[in-house]
Amino acid sequence: MCETEKGYRIEIKNLYKNFGNLEILKDFNITIEAGEFVAIVGRSGCGKSTLLRMISGLDGFGYGSLKLDGKEVTGNNRNIRFLFQEARLLPWRSVIKNVIIGTPDKNEATAAQSLERVGLIDRKYAWPNILSGGQKQRVSLARALAGKPKVLLLDEPLGALDALTRLDMQDLIEKLWLEQGFTAVLVTHDVSEAVRLANRVILMDEKSIAMDLKITLPRPRLKDNDANYFEQYILNKVMQKENGNEEFKNRKIEYTI
């Protein structure tokens, strides 16, 4: 992490969220420190993406408290940027013009600097439809970071990429986070990805937090026995919650890397 943390502290207390009669989050509490990288895992439908949308101000909530940098969230905040599973580029705009959208000054030089950081400056005048999936996500990342956000929310942004491209993107996201010091919150179904990127891994279940695990591995992260230990620990917790019986809880889960 950079020496001067630039991210926002996220503080959520006693938060409730409903969709009609369906309760999504109940008495939800979490604090994410400024500049921290937190990964959130859990089964589909447990409220992970909804939580990101509430932090961003895109969704409201029933009651409770959600603060960024000590201030209550009341709507969209230009210092928070979202990276989705789809790149969501405008097909009628060139790469550079897509990134300009994310700049505070709407300046091409600022957009070009952001493209340089993600290694795509040579494609700045290309059209999105000729880019690979990984390149599109790099452009989306450049657009998100062009505004120098305090918080970057990542909702499974690498889920559709092939394995090698995914590893490259993980390295890039980690590198930019270390350089810029923004607070990062990643939703992922990939436990290996969570361990590789995050300082903490949160398991969501039963409308709240079922596990909050610090990842004490040094950076750069290596695929070694220590990483395997954290991955298996998290997988055991996930499977315990999904099965909920004592026989399964006491059984070790074997899996391949």
User: Which tokens belong to 220?
Assistant: 């750069």
- In a shared domain, residues 101 and 171: no
- In a shared domain, residues 142 and 163: no
Top mean pLDDT of 58-62, 94-98, 100-104 is at 94-98
- In a shared domain, residues 135 and 32: no
Helix (DSSP H) and strand (DSSP E) numbers for the chain: 8, 10
Of residues 67 and 222, more confidently modeled: 67
Q: What is the pLDDT of residues 204-219, one digit of tens each?
A: 987 889 899 999 999 8
- In a shared domain, residues 71 and 114: no
Considering 100, 124, 148, which residue would you say is the last residue of a domain?
A: 148
Average pLDDT over residues 15-30: 87
Where residue 21 sits, what CATH number does that domain have?
3.40.50.300
Q: What is the pLDDT of residues 50-83, one digit of tens each?
A: 999 999 988 888 888 999 999 998 878 889 999 9
- In a shared domain, residues 143 and 164: no
Amino acid 151: pLDDT: 97
Per the domain annotation, does 233 fall within a domain? Answer: no
Amino acid 244: pLDDT: 58
Per the domain annotation, does 125 fall within a domain? Answer: yes
Amino acid 207: pLDDT: 81
- In a shared domain, residues 212 and 95: no
Q: Is the pLDDT confidence value at 254 over 50?
A: no
- Domain range enclosing 102: 90-148
CB neighbours of 165 closer than 8 A, spacing ≥ 6? 132, 133, 134
Banded model confidence at residue 252, pLDDT cuts 50, 70, 90: very low
Is 77:66 a contact under the CB 8 Å cutoff?
Answer: no
- In a shared domain, residues 168 and 218: yes
Per the domain annotation, does 21 fall within a domain? Answer: yes
- In a shared domain, residues 104 and 75: no
Q: What is the pLDDT of residues 32-45, one digit of tens each?
A: 999 999 999 988 87
Cα 186 to Cα 75, 113, 133, 151, 234: the distances in Å are 20, 24, 19, 11, 16
- In a shared domain, residues 131 and 19: no
Amino acid 241: pLDDT: 66
Amino acid 248: pLDDT: 35
Per the domain annotation, does 100 fall within a domain? Answer: yes
Amino acid 198: pLDDT: 97
Amino acid 249: pLDDT: 40
Q: What is the pTM of this model?
A: 0.89
Banded model confidence at residue 19, pLDDT cuts 50, 70, 90: confident
Banded model confidence at residue 242, pLDDT cuts 50, 70, 90: low
User: What's the mean per-residue pLDDT of the chain?
Assistant: 88
Q: What is the pLDDT of residues 137-146, one digit of tens each?
A: 999 999 999 9
Amino acid 256: pLDDT: 31
User: What distance in Å separates the CA atoms of residue 220 and residue 108, rounded to the nearest whole number?
Assistant: 33
User: Which tokens belong to 215?
Assistant: 């990842």
Is 110:130 a contact under the CB 8 Å cutoff?
Answer: no
- In a shared domain, residues 111 and 28: no
- In a shared domain, residues 141 and 18: no
Q: What is the pLDDT of residues 155-188, one digit of tens each?
A: 999 988 888 999 999 999 999 999 999 999 999 9
Amino acid 257: pLDDT: 29
Question: Which among 172, 95, 175 is positioned nearest to 136, based on CA atoms?
Answer: 95
Per the domain annotation, does 85 fall within a domain? Answer: no
Per the domain annotation, does 136 fall within a domain? Answer: yes
Per the domain annotation, does 234 fall within a domain? Answer: no
- Number of domains within the chain: 2
- In a shared domain, residues 64 and 38: yes
Banded model confidence at residue 245, pLDDT cuts 50, 70, 90: very low
User: What distance in Å separates the CA atoms of residue 117 and residue 119, rounded to the nearest whole number?
Assistant: 6
Average pLDDT over residues 115-136: 95
Per the domain annotation, does 31 fall within a domain? Answer: yes
